[in-house]
Chain A
Amino acid sequence: MYLQLQNLLPLYFEESKKQTSEIWGKDLQFAKGEMIKIVAPSGSGKTSLTHFIYGTRADYSGAISYNNSNIKQFSFENFANWRKDHISIVFQDLRLFPEQTVFENIDIKRQLNPFHRSEKIKEMAERLGIGKKLSSKAKTCSYGEQQRVAIIRALVQPFDFLILDEPFSHLDTVNRQIAMELMMEEANARAATIILADLQRVDFFAYTKILYL
């Protein structure tokens, strides 16, 4: 299981970006089990990169391959299966169903391919301090709470790669640490790779590789 980035560059970036970046325009390969930290200041294309990898945007040159298959060749059904079984994501803008409860938001993802039983949702929620919010509508939760909902949602399915786009932007230090621990545990349970993209270093992420975007 590995993810390859080959000479990647957003179409709207100048070629000169390739000179300064450790990702744009480079050939990279992430194997399963690696912990990748991507340090990306604003405007460096961090969110674009996570969307390219997850397959929601394709306005780039170069290629992204998963086990030697170029994801640009994926059919809609291929993408659906890939997202269900192999790759999980925490979006920067969270993307929750505002009218559904916290539990429903998480379980709607879990039922696709359950890695955990539904009791595990309560357990994780309690660990992240949102146990009492499970039956509240997502739109009534604070941004920090919603961020934790999105994190748990990303952890209830099987995955080889977990993509995190500024997952802690609205969490305090204590909660950051708890959330990071939970994600590491879950990744280890699957022998999976975490690709964490953030504005600055996240101290309690035991990365094996750091790249500057």
Chain B
Amino acid sequence: MVSFKPIKPLLQTGTKASSRWLSYIGLGAGVLLLLVSVQMFINLDHLLNKVNTRKDGFDFISISKKINDENQTIKSIFTKNEIDELQSKPFVDGVAPLIANEFRVHISAQGIFGTDLFLETLENEFIDTVPGSFQWTQGQLIVPLIISSDFLEAYNVFAPGNNLPQMSAETVTRLPITIECSGQGKQISFQGRIVAFSDRINSVLVPKSFLDWANQNLGEVAEHGATRLFIKTRDANNPDFLSYLDQKHYLVNKDKTRLGRTKQTLQAVFSGLGVFGLLVVVMALMLFSFYLQLLIARSRDSLQLLLLLGYSPKWLSQNVSRQFIPVYIFIVLAALVLTQLLQWAFHHTVMYDRPELSSAINWVVVVIATGLIILSIITNYRLVRKLLYKLY
């Protein structure tokens, strides 16, 4: 086995130690920046995806058209083309229009209160709570209703001030409600029964079969269409989705997408940092390659003589470049350990040990660190081999 030990003193480093340390520090800083950026990118992803944990894995958001001074005379109804276009987008898993009543509706409850109200209907698939009783067939007197749980909350807030009794959800479902529908010169009364509350839909919902029938028989509007659409999507924070909605000037339920916008900004910041880190890594590797070239140029006579004596250029390249492997591994490992410490500190102090995050760095970061070591070893070896073959 040929030993590299007697060869080592023949390699004249000669360069100033300071310039070598500068390239080590540069490489370390670049790698650290890169790894931390990747880790923070992943942290953000975990943090913001877990916040919106949904029972069935989908987000449901309603959109409407922006009403402003310019278009207030135009009806803000979604056309069939617009609905089809939305449906065709990869980030949309389903679209359903919210159909409203096209006749007058008056609701009263045993003299407790009475008001003109709107009714809407939506595909059952889009409603979070659909009990079996949420059905209507023609001729049925009782109309099941699903109302927003916010309405009950609002009622209970203003009820005491208006000498009205506060009501629990159970009480409300037992409350007989009278629905008077009028239009086309006719007036029909139905009995309403609240069968469920929805956390998702801010409306008073009736079965589709009822509203279809009523709109046909009592409706007074020639133009049909939906002013609100419900969208089913896997990720309401998807940047493509958000920019599409912006571009179309659709108004969104902001609550659901606000996090997404923060995530967009932060991820852009960390992407930028990551790219910067990568740039620093590349510069440091270049500095290292200059250092290697200088080393080989300075040791030119010795290396040439070794080749003359019968040393294999392949063996020499491998062994010369191998001298730097421990340095590379040390630098990348140090950066990895520092990233781990930062992640632990971030999780522990800034994030108060939130369960969505881990104190340990993500495996992707470890893979990237390993990749960097392999990359630097390979580029080093190839460079040394190229330079040595030139000496032949």
Q: Name A residues whose Cβ lies closer than 8 Å to a Cβ of B.
A: 56, 76-77, 79-85, 95, 97, 99-100, 104, 107-109, 111-113, 157
Contacts and interface: CB of A to CB of B under 8 A. Distances in A.
Contact of B309 (A81, A85, A109): A109
Interface of B: 2-3, 6-7, 9-10, 302, 305-315, 389, 392
A83 B7 contact: no
B313 A80 contact: yes
Contacts of B315: 80
Contacts of A100: 6, 9-10
Contacts of B311: 80, 84, 112
A71 B2 CA distance: 25
Contacts of A109: 309-310
B305 to A, nearest CB: 6
A109 B308 CA distance: 10
Nearest to B316: A80
Contacts of A84: 310-312
A95 B9 contact: no
Nearest to B304: A95
Contacts of A97: 10, 302, 305
B310 A80 contact: yes
Nearest to B313: A76
A100 B310 CA distance: 18
A56 B305 CA distance: 11
Question: Which of B10, B309, B312, B389 has the most C-beta atoms of chain A within 10 angstroms of its own C-beta?
Answer: B309
Pick the 6 closest A-B CB pairs, nearest first: A83-B310, A84-B310, A80-B312, A76-B313, A108-B6, A109-B309
> Chain A interface secondary structure, helix, strand, loop or mixed?
helix
A158 to B, nearest CB: 11
A81 B308 contact: no
Contact of A83 (B3, B10, B308, B389): B308
Most central of A77, A80, A95, A99 by chain B CB within 10 Å: A80
Given A111-B2, A112-B2, A80 B7 contact: no
5 contacts: A77-B314, A80-B315, A95-B308, A107-B6, A109-B310
A80 B314 CA distance: 10
Given A81-B312, A111-B2, 18 more contacts: A76-B312, A77-B313, A79-B392, A80-B311, A80-B312, A80-B313, A83-B308, A83-B309, A83-B310, A84-B311, A84-B312, A85-B310, A97-B305, A108-B6, A108-B7, A109-B309, A111-B3, A111-B6
B296 to A, nearest CB: 16
A99 B14 CA distance: 14
A113 B309 CA distance: 11
Nearest to B309: A109
B386 to A, nearest CB: 12
B6 A80 contact: no
A88 to B, nearest CB: 9
Contacts of B9: 99-100
B312 to A, nearest CB: 4
A182 to B, nearest CB: 20
A56 B315 CA distance: 19
Contacts of A111: 2-3, 6
Contacts of A82: 310
Given A97-B302, A97-B305, A111-B2, A77 B312 contact: yes
Contacts of A77: 312-314
A40 to B, nearest CB: 22
The residue in B3, B306, B310 that gathers the most chain A C-beta atoms within 10 A of its C-beta is B310
A30 B265 CA distance: 79
A104 B310 contact: no
B315 to A, nearest CB: 8
A172 to B, nearest CB: 28
Contacts of A85: 310
A99 to B, nearest CB: 8
Nearest to B389: A76
Nearest to A91: B308
Contacts of A80: 307, 310-313, 315
A79 B309 CA distance: 10
A95 B305 contact: yes
A111 to B, nearest CB: 6
B388 to A, nearest CB: 9
A81 B6 CA distance: 19
B308 A104 contact: no
A104 B6 contact: yes
Q: Of A76, A83, A111, which is in contact with the most chain B CB atoms at under 10 Å from its CB?
A: A76
A82 B308 CA distance: 11
B309 A108 contact: yes
Contacts of B314: 76-77
Contacts of A83: 308-310
Contacts of B307: 76, 80
B3 to A, nearest CB: 6
A100 B306 CA distance: 13
A82 B311 CA distance: 10
Given A108-B7, A111-B2, A76 B392 contact: yes
